[in-house]
Structure 1
């Protein structure tokens, strides 16, 4: 899992039938200091996240299991909305 910021959304009227009724959001991975890093990706939203929010993203088979869509083409899922981040270094 990792922290990310929601930076946009994707609307796709033509998609795999196993993705029907899913909300697709564009997320940017961030560091523990909330600094953007790496590439952006599309994640299925399971918690009702919105633009600008900091979220927790799960990857791979764990992402599919969150949504009970074990055979769906899902590689990333938003599984939490972050209220605060505290780092003690």
Structure 2
């Protein structure tokens, strides 16, 4: 799993039928200090995340293991919204 920040959304009216009804969000990996790193990528949202939230993303074959995406052609899934991060005893992020 990776930590990422939701930075936007993507709309696709033409897609594989198994993806109809799935919300597609743009995410960018974040480090433990909530600094954005790496490129933006698309992830299927199965938890109701929104722009600006810090989330947990799983990728690859694990992305197809959620109850919502089982057997579907997805490579990245938002599977949790983070409330806080603690690193070495210090809270580095807390959802307001």
Q: Which TM-score tier does this pair reach, normalised by the shorter chain?
A: over 0.9
CA RMSD of aligned residues (A): 1.1
Q: Which has the larger radius of gyration?
A: 2
User: Following superposition, which runs of at least 4 residues in structure 1 exceed 2 angstroms of deviation?
Assistant: none
Aligned length: 88
Structure 1 equivalent of residue 40 of structure 2: 40
For 2:9 and 2:87, how far apart are their aligned partners in 1? 29
Structure 2 equivalent of residue 14 of structure 1: 14
State whether structure 2 residue 54 is matched by structure 1 residue 83.
Answer: no
Q: Secondary structure at 2:80's aligned position in 1?
A: strand
Structure richer in strand, relative to its length:
2
Specify every segment of 5 or more residues in structure 2 that has no aligned partner in the other structure, as ranges.
Answer: 90-96
